[in-house]
Amino acid sequence: GLRNEEANILVVGLDNSGKTTILNQLKSEDTRAMDIVPTIGFSVEKFKSKSLTITAFDMSGQGRYRTLWEQYYRDCQGIIFVVDSSDKIRMVVARDELDSLIKHPELAIKRVPVLFFANKMDLRDAVSSVKVSSLMGLEDIRDKPWHICASNGLTGEGLHEGIEWLTEQLK
């Protein structure tokens, strides 16, 4: 279990999927940013989920920065993978990135829980979390516990269900 009540969580997914927006929602109201800009490189955010203090590594999803993700595989206890549910075209790219993540030697050796947010559920073009799950090939993930939640990063809908699942996995 987590004796020190702290966990490092790696937050990945394509650019524009809503990672920074989601993390901003999870912070206490008084520390929230007013506006969100595309992440350059990565940034570190802290928030609490019950008694657990989470340090989130909010990675940039832009192609040229994706090579940074693997530098954090070794030290993370959990992963949040954010998918834009309305971007069916780029979900193929997201699936490729997920495949490389799952197969990466640093992660292949550990049973790290992976939480998926099927984000932007509010958009007209958004597909269901079940559909995101099949388009992303999540059933093929064998050696890691995973969970998917439909979410709305703008309102916070669906976020706490996901974070609670992740927190439970980290105990």
**Which residues are part of the catalytic machinery?**
62
Residues that bind Mg ion (CB under 5 A): 19-20, 39
Is residue 153 classed as helix, strand or coil in its secondary structure? coil
Q: Closest approach of Cβ 154 to ligand GTP, in Å?
A: 5
Q: In this structure, are residues 157 and 166 in contact, taking their beta carbons and an 8 Å threshold?
A: no
Number of other residues whose CB lies within 10 A of the CB of residue 154:
14
- Comparison of 61 and 162: residue with beta carbon closer to ligand GTP: 61
Question: Least separation, in Å, of the C-beta of 34 and ligand GTP?
Answer: 12
Return the one option of Mg ion, ligand GTP, none that residue 21 interacts with (CB less than 5 to 8 A, by type): ligand GTP
Give Cα separations from 43 to 5, 68, 80, 84 (angstroms). 21, 12, 15, 20
Contacts with ligand GTP, residue ranges (CB under 6 A): 13, 15-21, 36, 38-39, 60-62, 82, 119-120, 122-123, 152-154
157 binds, among Mg ion, ligand GTP, none (CB under 5 to 8 A by kind): none
Identity of the residue numbered 45: E
Partner that binds at residue 17, options Mg ion, ligand GTP, none, CB closer than 5 to 8 Å by kind: ligand GTP
Distance CA 24, CA 47 (A): 9
